[in-house]
Chain A
């Protein structure tokens, strides 16, 4: 007791309010699970979840409108709520609201996860009309983690956020109502590989700490200029951090989990993962590699080149061989991560970084909405045993359900990057940023793989519109209000971002104008 006082840390509650609302609602959701009777739970969870997400979105917007973008890190330097982070928060929250509408759609989730598939227990759970309503608090925890992940200014916070976003997702993947063996397998695979990759991230953190003596991104950046003779620690640490982050994106060679998990998980959860996790992981990747390791770009850029090329090629080529619609969309998502990675590489002068960052933010917005819409359509095309996953079942869908098939074809064209869709401007923005960043060969690879990718998107369209429908083809479920709203919203976003992209481009430019807080 030598009389020294510990200064109380200052926390900017107003600034962190969006995240606090989401986490707070998640905890309330857990209490709802504990104290409410079973038949009431869903009717409490749904408004709670939607209100929390909408409230958090409102707070994010209010923050920007009223006080502008903060220029210093918050919470004693642990969290950086800067322009890109606020843009990403807004995007994640909107996509999460849309995915919640999809998740809310009737019985996609298992009645009782603990009941063995095919057992008497399961039958009884189904008969009693049980529902695994834990889905909603899990979703909120995951979304909270996704918000913290790209906003963390400290590697420790980033690791905790990584786990908070991943752990609920591992569980959500295993909760499909039909084809439960596939769903459980997806859950196990995602969990084991995810835990493996976060162990790499953690060891990378340890090596970084050994190098810089701190996990603060700014301190690591400062140490790059002052610490000498520890390059092994630095380079090994960078590589291992990269493994952890690239795994979350599903960049090759760490893409193996993605098709399995996307196929096995309940489609609404796949929609959530495919849109928001990608946004969040790119935010975190950019922050680590630009803020902490920006001055090391001569060392990491060649490796990132290789990863980007491999990701685009693997995603586009393996997608051709797929026979399952969800697996195909998963490989398409891998290819898109590759396209966005070309923007990550385009670092250089300040203006160039701004351009690349705003291009990436726009691409993420465009891709996020389209992908949620595509998975929403997948939930509606059904067979006796659940969703009709196999591509051959989609033959002639254009004759059976012209509107639905037309919208799906439109989403596929947006993935392919045809003009007048959002995908075109996204690709254009990212590739022009890469050209400005002296990555012309990457752009060539990007354009070639886009052409390959266009082949399999068009193949599905041809299959839907120019083949005879099978006699016992899939039925089209009458969409609930939620699912129709999701499809309509995603289609509208894809059109608007493709025809009038300027407002969102401006917003992304504004968000990127000051780059990340250092």
Chain B
């Protein structure tokens, strides 16, 4: 039964990863990263069920806390660059190259 959840988690992770690579807006890219982290949480909880121990559920809480901290830092950085450039597109930020 738990296999379905693992497949769902892998799908969510893949959707997130593809989103990071294809989307242009930094906020959307960041949302896709959060989607990947949540896919990891789903996998942790499913594996916890499979193994019959609570470690996985515990880890999910840690991941949520880390993700929250990451949101704080990430939004600060994205807002900073948006205010400077009036755009949050990752394509516009192209001064550093070669």
Contacts and interface: CB of A to CB of B under 8 A. Distances in A.
Indicate the member of A180, A188, A189, A213 with the most B CB atoms within 10 Å. Answer: A188
Contacts, number: 125
A185 B47 contact: no
B11 interface: no
Contact of B51 (A159, A163, A174, A213): A213
Interface residues of B, number: 47
A202 interface: yes
A2 to B, nearest CB: 17
Contacts of A263: 96
A202 B70 CA distance: 14
A187 B84 contact: no
B7 interface: no
Interface stretch (A16-24, A62-70, A113-121, A307-315): A113-121
Interface in A188-209: 188-189, 191-192, 195-196, 199-200, 202-203, 205-207, 209
Interface string B1-13: 0000010010001
B77 A174 contact: yes
A206 B44 contact: yes
A196 B20 contact: yes
A464 interface: no
A170 B26 CA distance: 15
Contacts of A156: 59, 62
B59 A209 contact: yes
Interface string B38-69: 01100110111011010110010011001001
A182 interface: yes
Interface in A449-470: none
Given A156-B62, A210-B43, A263-B96, A171 B70 contact: no
B18 to A, nearest CB: 12
Given A203-B43, A207-B43, A260-B96, A187 B59 contact: no
B74 A180 contact: no
B69 A205 contact: no
Interface in A142-170: 156, 159-160, 163, 167, 170
A438 B20 CA distance: 40
Contacts of A205: 40, 59
A214 interface: yes
Contacts of A184: 77, 80-81, 84, 93
A114 B62 CA distance: 30
A266 interface: no
A181 B95 CA distance: 8
A115 to B, nearest CB: 9
Given A171-B76, A188-B26, A203-B13, A209 B84 contact: no
A199 B74 contact: no
Given A195-B74, A199-B37, A206-B40, A188 B81 contact: yes
A117 B82 CA distance: 12
B77 A187 contact: yes
Contacts of B69: 163, 167
Contacts of B90: 188, 192
A373 interface: no
Contacts of B53: 213-214
B44 A199 contact: no
B53 to A, nearest CB: 6
A259 B95 CA distance: 12
B39 A191 contact: no
B73 A191 contact: yes
Nearest to A204: B40
A52 interface: no
Contacts of A226: none
B16 A209 contact: no
Indicate the member of A117, A159, A195 with the most B CB atoms within 10 Å. Answer: A195
Interface in B5-36: 6, 9, 13, 16-17, 20, 26, 29-30, 33, 36
B40 A203 contact: yes
Contacts of B78: 188
Q: Which A-B residue pairs are the 9 nearest by beta carbons?
A: A199-B36, A206-B43, A210-B47, A213-B51, A260-B96, A202-B40, A185-B93, A195-B33, A167-B73
24 contacts: A159-B62, A159-B63, A160-B62, A167-B70, A170-B73, A170-B77, A174-B77, A184-B77, A185-B93, A186-B96, A188-B77, A188-B90, A195-B70, A200-B36, A202-B36, A203-B13, A203-B43, A206-B9, A206-B40, A209-B51, A210-B43, A215-B59, A259-B96, A260-B96
Given A191-B73, A196-B33, 11 more contacts: A156-B62, A181-B95, A184-B80, A188-B81, A192-B29, A199-B13, A202-B36, A202-B40, A203-B40, A209-B44, A209-B56
Interface of A: 113-114, 116-117, 156, 159-160, 163, 167, 170-171, 174, 180-182, 184-189, 191-192, 195-196, 199-200, 202-203, 205-207, 209-210, 213-215, 259-260, 263-264, 321-322, 327
Interface of B: 6, 9, 13, 16-17, 20, 26, 29-30, 33, 36-37, 39-40, 43-44, 46-48, 50-51, 53, 55-56, 59, 62-63, 66, 69-70, 73-74, 76-78, 80-81, 83-85, 90, 93-98
